[in-house]
Structure 1
């Protein structure tokens, strides 16, 4: 069986290189991007990159580094820096991009939209059909909070330490369509839910289905959206590799008629909250028992769960190495707090993220 392709989208803050304050120059950065594939986001203080589809993890790492370099050069040409931070450490007032859709979102959703200055990492994994996509979607749900825990990179919000390792999830969760979903059962049921949600005239369009994972409306992929933008490129590769293995494992279970775990959305919300609160530093909910367990034990359980898929893709050794490195180094939230403690101000947090970006 061919290894599925995967791609990574990353969102970056645009900040003043001296003060660390976000700057609303997204349109200028896009003009400076030339042939680079950068896109606008909701707020003018951010941009998004996207890799080409890859099969090999080494190629994916190269793509991520290329895209980060392109974003960095375009940002510098506009007098700012593009930094991988899930939320802005330095206080900022978001400025909505000029795009008519984004302005309509803010008009409809008020402060929930106007305050959304957050940066995530989205992983796209190729699927053969909508039926396979929904079959996999139903079966990856228990493990998505673990991916969040691996990526947490947003402890600061509006100039203060929130007490969370991944506060972006808390901010993002204010959207009425965000978060985990229940099992759908079929592609037809997924489409019916989509039509019902859009029929409420609450969401502007299908792009506002902000589920933790969703069937892409524009690509033949399953899109997993739980992770913070990662501090380092290798962390993004780890999240992506585990995501692909999760989708492959779940697709095989679907094809074999293995029923999806019926775990309720309420429990998944608790699992996500714990991952957002403490990342890898405390206990996570173990998907085998839904009881607290040490975070490293839960990550190892995820690797074991997708082990056959990782091995067949040739990714197992790489994932183990990347996990060992992250376990020793810790995710971005730890580095942000350490930089703040050592530097004494939030500008130090931004400088630390810049040092690890490429």
Structure 2
């Protein structure tokens, strides 16, 4: 059974005002003091962000427990220095980000200018194990049409700099300002993939392989496919659903490749439109059907995803979990819907952040 690991980025905020706070360094120092060998928490581009990574898990219940545990540990470390963590993909309140000081991040700021300073956004990256780079590329080629659906499921960033953005996942619109971000064409082979990445680095527009920000890519560090489209999810249960669907998509794609089924080939222009539609509306309106690239009700597309991955979900023991997760998502909504509901109830973005802090901490 394929293993799955999750990386989540969290915002650090003032627990009373909800304002983002650049306190990542002291939070990490506190975590290191508690456990000098800890390798779970890491700094990110800005001081208002904290990242953690789970261990590879084959059991989704265990993965969910680890996500919850890491969130609680992050909250404990943050609370000890007077701040809080919150699983929001953008700050609802206006913020001036504080760049983390290292050579890599300074290069980003000098090279890209203003777009770098707009990247205070928090994602959820899902790593799914693959047997080889060749299998990984065949997987990447076959999951392309479904990545927008994962974006819609995870959408958790409706507010930006103190106002409603009009999007369910505005984080994705900000993230796609990087020149190497977004969907990709078919690669066809691991050799072609690595050649394209090397050519991109050779242009000097990106520093290294780690700055090739495809929506899904081969991990440079692990024997995994890294799926990078998801917002960090307000609910840990939604993060587990995203991870469950990612593993099922990877397994389905690998089976299709081994069976000799060709990869679907919607053009990058259509994939960009599908991604925009998912970011704009989340699961509230139509998505573009991955099979036809025509607008279809979000519920039908989610049902089609469950049907497309049914054999893999069953083989992994995840069919019931995925069905229940999709049903709950359609009933209760994702983080974007929850944030807007809170705003309607309270009329205050600060109250939205405070409520989401309590939710993140369980």
Take 1:339 and 1:5, find their aligned partners in 2: how far apart are those partners? Answer: 36
1:128 CA drift (Å): 0.5
- State which of 3, 10, 30 in structure 2 corresponds to 1:5: 3
Equivalent position of 2:244 in the other structure: 241
2:47 paired with 1:53: no
Equivalent position of 2:255 in the other structure: 252
Cα-to-partner distance string for 1:233-280 (whole Å, 9 max, x where unaligned): 100000000000000000111122211111100000000000000000
Secondary structure, in 3 states, of the residue corresponding to 1:21? coil
Equivalent position of 2:166 in the other structure: 163
Take 2:335 and 2:193, find their aligned partners in 1: how far apart are those partners? Answer: 34
Secondary structure, in 3 states, of the residue corresponding to 1:47? strand
CA contact (8 A) 1:336 1:352 kept: no
Take 1:71 and 1:255, find their aligned partners in 2: how far apart are those partners? Answer: 41
Equivalent position of 1:65 in the other structure: 68
**Which segment is superposed worse, 209-218 or 98-107?**
98-107
Q: How does 1:273-284 map to 2 (within 5 A)?
A: 273-284=276-287
Equivalent position of 1:320 in the other structure: 323
CA contact (8 A) 1:54 1:60 kept: yes
Equivalent position of 2:138 in the other structure: 135
Equivalent position of 2:232 in the other structure: 229
CA contact (8 A) 2:287 2:298 kept: yes
Q: Give 5+ residue unaligned stretches, structure 1.
A: none
Take 1:181 and 1:57, find their aligned partners in 2: how far apart are those partners? Answer: 29
Q: How does 1:174-185 map to 2 (within 5 A)?
A: 174-185=177-188
Take 1:268 and 1:356, find their aligned partners in 2: how far apart are those partners? Answer: 33
Equivalent position of 2:93 in the other structure: 90
Take 1:90 and 1:292, find their aligned partners in 2: how far apart are those partners? Answer: 33
Take 2:146 and 2:210, find their aligned partners in 1: how far apart are those partners? Answer: 23
Take 2:127 and 2:62, find their aligned partners in 1: how far apart are those partners? Answer: 15
1:17 CA drift (Å): 0.7
Q: How does 1:17-166 map to 2 (within 5 A)?
A: 17-34=15-32, 35=35, 36=38, 37-166=40-169
Cα-to-partner distance string for 1:252-311 (whole Å, 9 max, x where unaligned): 111222111111000000000000000000000001111100001001101100000000
CA contact (8 A) 1:22 1:92 kept: yes
CA contact (8 A) 2:244 2:318 kept: yes
2:346 paired with 1:343: yes
CA RMSD for the aligned pairs? 0.8
- TM-score normalised by L of structure 2: 0.97
Take 2:178 and 2:81, find their aligned partners in 1: how far apart are those partners? Answer: 31
Q: How does 1:165-314 map to 2 (within 5 A)?
A: 165-314=168-317
CA contact (8 A) 1:148 1:272 kept: yes
Take 2:130 and 2:267, find their aligned partners in 1: how far apart are those partners? Answer: 25
Cα-to-partner distance string for 1:176-196 (whole Å, 9 max, x where unaligned): 000000110000000000010
Structure 1 runs of 4+ off > 6 angstroms?
none
1:331 CA drift (Å): 0.4
Take 1:78 and 1:212, find their aligned partners in 2: how far apart are those partners? Answer: 35
Take 1:19 and 1:317, find their aligned partners in 2: how far apart are those partners? Answer: 40
CA contact (8 A) 2:15 2:357 kept: no
Take 2:213 and 2:79, find their aligned partners in 1: how far apart are those partners? Answer: 31
Take 2:168 and 2:271, find their aligned partners in 1: how far apart are those partners? Answer: 18
Take 1:131 and 1:5, find their aligned partners in 2: how far apart are those partners? Answer: 18
- State which of 337, 347, 356 in structure 2 corresponds to 1:353: 356
1:355 CA drift (Å): 2.6
Take 2:150 and 2:278, find their aligned partners in 1: how far apart are those partners? Answer: 9
